Structure 1
């Protein structure tokens, strides 16, 4: 198991290094740069643009810029924002805390909804199965930003007393904090929950036909015990994989959802930074998001190996 974990950690570091370089190179390959955005016009004198680039270190070769950034990043210094002139790490961590709350709430909602509907469809069959599968098919085809827009329209028109936009810090009012994140978390969770539901249904149906389940039924064990100890436990492996991957994907979906609901999280921060060509902020957000996704995937692999010993081999 130790060798398995060390191998996954080595892959994690290699992936993060590759992602950081690709993001660094692609940002600087985009038309325009921060010097032009800061000057506010394409017709600014070339010497003015050159002075801005020199001040920000944008005139150096790409590899020199990257190695300099990487050296500071390894020491925990993610640079200084071109726009605010503040350390990126402090600004990013404040935004990351908001996104983490939103993602955690969306993950809880999606897991509860997905596992519950998947189990109901697999165990009850009949009309319940058809209804769940029809709902899953529709929700899989609808992007989360469309769901978010529909939620805003629905609550704005028919429930104007409910606050839709904005964010309340947790330390200021915990209940208001959850209330301000509930609707955007629901918009994120619906698409994820249907994937978990389909995987749960398929896994439970597959395990239900195994010989050890039939033997347990022949012994006269209670249905609740069969469901808990035989069906759910042995159906966990594919569900863990699907759940972890979709929860990691919530970070990508949060960009538009946070913008729609005016949530000051990492997604909205990235959106604003792309518009202003704030390279250090974009690089820090991409690296942070990649690190979260890779860590989640590594944890999934480890959990997978713990549930199914064959994975270690």
Structure 2
């Protein structure tokens, strides 16, 4: 029951958050250079045609009135239509959402498995593995995702021809080609996550393994493997969950860059194109969906804390 109340509280707190972020995004996009009507008509249109299109799109209204018109429809679930294609914003987002979610979940899975494995074994073995984790962390934090993606394309797609350089294949069309199209962008996204999780897991494991109750467990004859994977790893998992939650939120921004590098038809590439065209309804819709994803991620992290440590109570 307390968990249910905390969950409802988190959901209710998301409402003002959505409002504030939608206002900020609306204002910031309106301040960027460019004009939607001019982009649609091109340079050959007359001033009369330009003014007529601005009026039909509602772009001649004050900014606060434009926002109010969008908000009054958004609260009913209608996010409007693209000013360029006429496609509904909801349909435009939902057709691209699976691409972005595939990238995010793939990168999180790779980061979790590789990062935790490296962190645990480096904490247990030490020596060379410890220095290797430090090296991976340094490289992972220093290299930007777009550079890593470009290098992966050069090596594995152009030179070795093992994987496709760009594009996305739907899972329903070919599961094998779907997986091959995600390998390079997922690894480009996951590198920083692997570095962060490996570093934090190693430090957390070392803290737990050097604690008094672990030494008592070893003195009482408890198997070392059980100590590592049951006692130490469980206690270290709270920090791992924290880093994983932060990584999931960071991936929302990372997908914007990586999707454009690998020409993937996800929300990131849609956001870039819509911003360049001043397509406000699409941008606002993407902001709403991204904010909802952040709220869901934070809620899952809170639930994971409670599951890993029943003494934790969300406030």
What does residue 139 of structure 1 align with? 140
What does residue 10 of structure 1 align with? 12
What does residue 55 of structure 1 align with? 56
What does residue 39 of structure 1 align with? 41
Does the 8 A contact of 2:117 with 2:198 survive in 1?
yes
Q: Does 1:29 align with 2:43?
A: no
Query: Within 5 Å, which residues of 2 pair with 1:257-268?
Result: 257-268=258-269
Deviation at 1:161, TM superposition (A): 4.9
1:20 to 16, 19, 22: 22
Partners of 1:122 and 1:280 in 2: CA distance: 50
Count residues in correspondence.
312
Deviation at 1:179, TM superposition (A): 0.9
Flag structure 1 segments of 5+ consecutive residues without an equivalent: none
Does the 8 A contact of 1:140 with 1:191 survive in 2?
yes
Flag structure 2 segments of 5+ consecutive residues without an equivalent: none
Query: Within 5 Å, which residues of 2 pair with 1:260-299?
Result: 260-299=261-300
Deviation at 1:182, TM superposition (A): 1.0
Query: Within 5 Å, which residues of 2 pair with 1:244-263?
Result: 244-263=245-264
Scaled by the length of structure 2, what TM-score is found? 0.93
Deviation at 1:181, TM superposition (A): 0.8
CA RMSD of aligned residues (A): 1.7
Report the more deviating stretch, 52-61 or 75-84: 52-61
CA distance 1:46–1:157, shift in 2 (3 Å): closer
Partners of 1:122 and 1:172 in 2: CA distance: 43
Partners of 1:161 and 1:74 in 2: CA distance: 47
Q: Secondary structure at the match of 2:77?
A: coil
What does residue 181 of structure 2 align with? 180
Partners of 2:76 and 2:193 in 1: CA distance: 36
Per-residue deviation, residues 157-181 of structure 1 (Å, max 9, x unmatched): 4212532221111101111111111
What does residue 80 of structure 2 align with? 79
Deviation at 1:227, TM superposition (A): 1.5
Scaled by the length of structure 1, what TM-score is found? 0.94
Q: Does 1:150 align with 2:157?
A: no
Report the more deviating stretch, 195-204 or 62-71: 62-71
Q: Secondary structure at the match of 1:235?
A: helix
CA distance 1:80–1:157, shift in 2 (3 Å): closer
